[in-house]
Amino acid sequence: MRSMPAPRRRPLPAARPRRPRRTALARLTWGATLGIALAQAGCRRESSDPPESTAPPQLVLMPASASAAVAPPDAGVAPPLSPGARIEDERNSIQIFREVAPSVAYVTQKRQVMDRFAMRALEVPSGSGSAFIWDDAGHVVTNFHVIAGAGSLTVTLHDQNTYEAKVVGAEPRKDVAVLALIGAPKASLVPIPRNPKGTTADLEVGQKAIAIGNPFGLDHTLTTGIVSALGREVQGVGGVTIRDMIQTDAAINPGNSGGPLLDSSGRLIGMNTMIFSKSGASAGIGFAVPLSIINRVVPQLIEKGVATQVGIGVQIDPQGRLERRAGIRGVVVLSATPGSPAEQAGLAGVKETARGIQIGDVIVSVNDKKVVSYDDLYNHLDQYEVGQRVKLGVSRGGQERVVELALVQVN
């Protein structure tokens, strides 16, 4: 057999050298170069339009305040703010505290307790509150409930000096009391800034309110907030409603009672008195006796030891026991004081008969304002001064009539 020649192998093609891979930056540079080349070497058409300017573009430098400054990664922390870098509200609060804090004090009351083991009486602290200096004669104003039942009182001023104090006068129905410091030098007495004719009509809901006091024994504590509401009626410790009170959300806690509530000018607008809270701590609802009551009551307490109370000269029961028993809406006249405006107007009191008690006149209104209880009668008459005349609505035997009479001082 004829052998077949061995097949000839075709030579392999020479290997092409591998093109290096372009990086992202290289591709971007190559693409930009290609685009510029195409734009310059592309279809060049004749045009009658004038050639565009080939002047290089102008660089416009932005001011430093408008340019976004990018800090290097290793720039570190920002430099601290300058000492004066405070907002206006902060500067206002700081200035008020510096000026008014020397006028704020705190009151400590002591009571005697019996040590049964040593068989002797001891005087121990039983409570504390806040206060503010009224004048340079040493009069200090606080709440009545702060000093009620105290055996002795001490007042500590801003300079941390403590002085004995005595009660000059108190008005429980307004929860206001005035103390007199014993032995305090006049140089230490800084009266609190106030408007002697200030009223709640000068206030607006939403304006700034600042409280300084002694919460939980931490003296000269400042808290801020706003006037949340005006004209609130709150039951006071004196058995009647304190009306026209200021509501604030400035933090008021136990120990703040008796301290000042200030406006943004640092002037007194009220005296912190009570809070609404289920826990006993501040819940953002506090109440202050308004400046209008303080301005009226404090001078009377300093002068006479009691606040002037106006009336018509009748005996009544503030507890309203007879009214509740008989289901009467109004204030029953128990008797008319001899020679009083009530007697001159013919008001009749309660009589005892063979059939029992016979009710005479019942006061049902004052100047067309309804009277349901002694609370209403007291607060309606409290708006007037001695000598002013009021129209009194009275009911007797189901028949109502109106009598006009002048108010007199009844205490």
Classified as helix, coil or strand, 38 is helix
- Per the rule left: phi > 0, alpha: psi between -120 and 50, beta: everything else, 96 is alpha
Instruction: Note the pLDDT of residue 37.
Output: 42
Q: Is residue 266 a contact partner of residue 309, using CB atoms and an 8 Å limit?
A: no
Q: Is residue 261 a contact partner of residue 249, using CB atoms and an 8 Å limit?
A: no
Backbone angles phi, psi at 162, to 5 degrees: -110, 140
Backbone angles phi, psi at 302, to 5 degrees: -65, -40
Instruction: Check for a shared fold between 200-304 and 310-409.
Output: no
- For the chain, the structural domain boundaries read 100-188, 200-304, 310-409
Instruction: Note the pLDDT of residue 313.
Output: 92
- CA distances from residue 380 to 207, 334, 383 in whole angstroms, order as listed: 29, 19, 6
Under CATH, to which class is 310-409 assigned? Answer: mainly beta
Whole-number Å distance between alpha carbons of 226 and 248: 6
Q: Is residue 145 a contact partner of residue 257, using CB atoms and an 8 Å limit?
A: yes
Residue 128: strand pairing partners: 108
Under CATH, to which class is 100-188 assigned? Answer: mainly beta
Residue carrying the six token digits 């083991």: 117
Q: CA gyration radius for the chain?
A: 42
Across the chain, which has 411 residues, the per-10-residue mean pLDDT values are 48 53 49 44 44 46 40 60 77 94 92 65 71 95 92 92 94 95 94 87 92 89 95 88 93 90 95 81 84 94 93 91 91 93 91 85 94 93 92 91 92 78
Whole-number Å distance between alpha carbons of 284 and 239: 25
Could you say which DSSP state residue 378 is in? H
Whole-number Å distance between alpha carbons of 296 and 289: 12
- CA distances from residue 83 to 80, 93, 332 in whole angstroms, order as listed: 9, 16, 67
Whole-number Å distance between alpha carbons of 266 and 98: 10
Helix H or strand E encompassing 127: strand 120-133
Catalytic residue annotation: 145, 175, 257
Q: Is residue 264 a contact partner of residue 100, using CB atoms and an 8 Å limit?
A: no
Whole-number Å distance between alpha carbons of 240 and 318: 9
Backbone angles phi, psi at 146, to 5 degrees: -75, -35
Strand 331-332 versus strand 314-315 pairing type: unpaired
Q: Taking the alpha carbons of 252, 256, 257, 260 in that order, is the dihedral positive or negative?
A: negative
Q: Taking the alpha carbons of 76, 81, 87, 89 in that order, is the dihedral positive or negative?
A: positive
Instruction: Note the pLDDT of residue 86.
Output: 80
Strand 399-406 versus strand 286-290 pairing type: unpaired
Instruction: Note the pLDDT of residue 279.
Output: 67
State both tokens at 391.
Answer: 């129209």
Backbone angles phi, psi at 172, to 5 degrees: -60, -35
- What letter represents residue 7's amino acid? P
State both tokens at 105.
Answer: 């004090």
pTM greater than 0.75 (yes/no): no
Could you say which DSSP state residue 194 is in? B
Helix, strand and coil content of the chain, in percent to the nearest 5, comes to 20, 35, 45
Whole-number Å distance between alpha carbons of 264 and 168: 31
* Residue 46 CB contacts under 8 Å (≥ 6 apart), including other chains: none
Instruction: Note the pLDDT of residue 43.
Output: 41
State both tokens at 295.
Answer: 């301005």
Classified by CATH at the fold level, domain 200-304 comes out as Thrombin, subunit H (2.40.10)
